[in-house]
C-alpha cells in the first residue's frame, strides 16, 4: 500500500542500484515491511501475532525438513525411525520436540491472531479478502497438523486417522468409496501413511504461498488498528521499520521463551501418552482424542446425538463440524456494523467475551470422554457457537448503538495521553 507520504526506496550504492534495475527485491522488502510501509502508530501487542505465526511456520519448515532426512514413512518402521531420531540422531531429540511443540505454538499464536481479528473487526471492509485468505490458511494448517500427527504411527496417530477419515463414510452413497480412495485401502495403513507424508511435506509451502497473498491483500488498504478508524493522515502512522520491527523483535523474544520452556522442560505436556505406543489396529484406545487445537471442533462433532430430519446424528456431527469453520468465511457479511472495533461496540463486546468462554468450554468438552456432563455441556456450547455467528451477530450489528468515536487515530492517541504534562509530539 502506498499512502502518499510513504518513504521511497532510494538505493545509494552501485550494486544496490544495479539490483533495483534488474530484480527489485530490496525495493519489494522496503515497501512491504521496511521503512516504506506506513502502519498505524497505535497498534497494541495483539498485532504481534501475525509475525509470530510467520515465525512459527518458518520454524516448522526448518525442523520438519531436517526430520524428513531421518524419518521413514513406512508403517513397519515409522515409529522406530522417530525413536531413532530421538536417541541416535545428533540433537534429534531437540528437532523432534521443537517440531512437535512448534505445531502447538503455531496454533496458540494463530488462535490469538484470529480472536484479535474478531475483537477489532479486522475482517470488515476493506479487509474482507485478508480474512478469507486467513480462513484458508487456518484450514490448511488443520489438514497439515492432522497429517503430521499420523506420521509417528503411534496409537493416537492410527486411531485419530481412523476417526477423521471415517467422517467421509458419513456422506450418503459416495462417502465410503471416497474414504477408501483417499486412504488407498480399507483402513489407515502403509498407503495412507505414505500419502500423508507427501502431503504433509507439501502443504506448508502452499500455506506459505497463501500467506504471501494474505499479506499482499493486507497491504492494499494497510493494517487495521485498535480504534478501527482508518488512517487519514501522516501523523496517524509510523514507518514499519524501525518501529514495528523493534516491537516484533521483542515479541519474538517472548514467543521463543514460551516455546523454549515448553520444548525443553515439558515437551510432552500437550501430547497424549498413547502415542508412545506403536499403532495396533486390533487394540482400540480407551479414549480417542485429537490434539488440543482440535478439541472445540471435536466437541461440536460429538454434540449431535439425535437423528434429526432424515439425517443421522453422525452426519449432523460431521456437517456441523465443517460448518463451524465454514461460517467464518461469511463473517464479513454476517456482521454488518460499520464500526470495526469492540472498543466502541459495547453490546458486541459482551457477546465476544461470551464466545471466548464458549470456545474454551467446548475445548474442555473435546478433551473429556463422551459422557455426562460433558455431552450436555458440548450441546449447550455448540448451540451458543452457531447462535453467536448466525443469529446474534446479524441482529446485534443492526440494533447496536456504538459509542462516540474520535475523528482520527491521532486524536485517540492524544486523548489517551491528555493528562501528560509534556508537550505532545506528533
Residues forming the active site = 219, 223, 247-248, 291
Closer CB to other proteins, 143 or 319, in the complex = 319
Find out whether 263 and 65 touch, Cβ atoms under 8 Å.
Answer: no
C-alpha span between 276 and 278 (Å, rounded): 6
Min dist. Cβ of residue 228 to other proteins (A)? 16
Min dist. Cβ of residue 19 to other proteins (A)? 27
Min dist. Cβ of residue 390 to other proteins (A)? 3
Closer CB to other proteins, 173 or 415, in the complex = 415
From the number of C-beta atoms within 10 Å of its C-beta (0-12, 13-18, 19+), residue 46 rates as: middle
C-alpha span between 264 and 101 (Å, rounded): 10
Structural element, H or E, at residue 237: strand 237-239
From the number of C-beta atoms within 10 Å of its C-beta (0-12, 13-18, 19+), residue 8 rates as: exposed
Residue ranges in 220-283 assigned as alpha helix (H): 240-260
Find out whether 39 and 223 touch, Cβ atoms under 8 Å.
Answer: yes
C-alpha span between 359 and 54 (Å, rounded): 24
Min dist. Cβ of residue 270 to other proteins (A)? 14
Closer CB to other proteins, 35 or 140, in the complex = 35
Residue 420, all three cell numbers: 501528560
Min dist. Cβ of residue 352 to other proteins (A)? 18
Find out whether 121 and 341 touch, Cβ atoms under 8 Å.
Answer: yes
49-68 and 92-120 helices cross at what angle (nearest 10)?
150
Closer CB to other proteins, 205 or 333, in the complex = 333
Structural element, H or E, at residue 40: strand 38-40
Min dist. Cβ of residue 137 to other proteins (A)? 22
* CA 182, chain centre distance (Å): 25
C-alpha span between 239 and 347 (Å, rounded): 34
Closer CB to other proteins, 175 or 267, in the complex = 267
Min dist. Cβ of residue 34 to other proteins (A)? 14
Closer CB to other proteins, 165 or 167, in the complex = 167
Find out whether 379 and 303 touch, Cβ atoms under 8 Å.
Answer: yes
Residue 365, all three cell numbers: 468438552
What SS3 class is residue 59? helix
Closer CB to other proteins, 143 or 323, in the complex = 323
Find out whether 9 and 27 touch, Cβ atoms under 8 Å.
Answer: yes
- Specify which residues 38 forms β-bridges with: 239
Residue 230, all three cell numbers: 482508518
Amino acid at each position: 500500500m502506498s499512502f502518499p507520504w510513504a518513504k521511497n526506496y532510494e538505493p545509494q550504492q552501485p550494486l544496490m542500484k544495479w539490483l533495483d534495475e534488474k530484480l527489485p527485491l530490496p525495493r519489494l522488502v522496503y515497501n512491504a515491511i521496511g521503512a516504506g510501509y506506513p502502519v498505524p502508530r497505535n497498534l497494541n501487542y495483539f498485532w504481534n501475532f501475525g509475525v509470530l505465526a510467520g515465525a512459527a511456520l518458518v520454524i516448522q519448515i526448518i525442523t520438519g525438513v531436517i526430520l524428513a532426512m531421518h524419518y521413514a514413512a513406512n508403517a513397519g518402521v515409522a515409529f522406530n525411525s522417530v525413536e531413532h531420531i530421538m536417541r541416535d540422531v545428533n540433537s534429534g531429540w531437540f528437532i523432534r520436540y521443537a517440531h512437535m511443540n512448534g505445531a502447538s505454538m503455531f496454533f496458540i499464536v494463530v488462535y490469538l491472531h484470529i480472536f484479535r481479528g474478531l475483537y477489532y473487526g479486522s475482517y470488515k471492509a476493506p479487509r474482507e479478502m485478508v480474512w478469507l485468505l486467513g480462513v484458508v490458511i487456518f484450514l490448511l494448517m488443520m489438514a497439515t497438523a492432522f497429517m503430521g500427527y499420523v506420521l509417528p504411527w503411534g496409537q493416537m496417530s492410527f486411531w485419530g486417522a481412523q476417526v477423521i477419515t471415517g467422517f467421509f463414510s458419513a456422506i450418503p452413497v459416495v462417502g465410503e468409496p471416497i474414504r477408501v480412495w483417499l486412504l488407498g485401502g480399507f483402513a489407515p495403513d502403509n498407503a495412507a501413511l505414505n500419502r500423508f507424508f507427501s502431503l504433509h511435506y507439501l502443504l506448508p509451502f502452499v500455506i506459505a504461498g497463501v500467506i504471501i497473498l494474505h499479506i499482499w491483500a493486507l497491504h492494499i488498504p494497510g493494517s487495521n488498528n485498535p480504534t478501527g478508524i482508518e488512517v487519514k493522515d501522516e501523523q496517524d502512522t509510523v514507518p514499519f521499520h524501525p518501529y514495528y520491527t523493534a516491537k516484533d523483535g521483542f515479541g519474538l523474544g517472548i514467543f521463543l521463551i514460551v516455546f523454549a520452556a515448553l520444548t525443553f522442560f515439558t515437551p510432552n505436556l500437550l501430547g497424549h501418552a498413547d502415542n508412545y505406543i506403536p499403532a495396533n489396529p486390533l487394540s482400540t484406545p480407551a479414549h480417542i482424542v485429537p490434539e488440543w487445537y482440535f478439541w472445540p471442533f471435536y466437541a461440536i462433532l460429538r454434540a449431535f446425538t439425535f437423528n434429526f430430519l432424515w439425517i443421522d446424528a453422525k452426519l449432523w456431527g460431521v456437517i456441523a463440524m465443517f460448518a463451524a469453520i465454514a461460517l467464518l468465511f461469511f463473517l464479513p457479511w454476517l456482521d454488518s456494523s460499520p464500526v470495526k472495533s469492540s472498543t466502541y461496540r459495547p453490546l458486541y463486546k459482551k457477546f465476544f467475551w461470551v464466545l471466548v468462554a464458549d470456545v474454551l468450554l467446548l475445548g474442555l468438552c473435546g478433551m473429556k470422554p463422551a459422557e455426562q456432563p460433558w455431552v450436555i455441556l458440548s450441546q449447550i456450547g455448540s448451540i451458543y457457537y452457531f447462535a453467536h455467528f448466525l443469529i446474534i451477530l446479524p441482529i446485534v450489528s443492526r440494533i447496536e448503538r456504538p459509542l462516540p468515536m474520535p475523528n482520527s487515530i491521532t486524536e485517540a492517541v492524544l486523548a489517551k495521553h491528555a493528562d501528560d504534562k509534556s508537550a505532545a509530539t506528533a
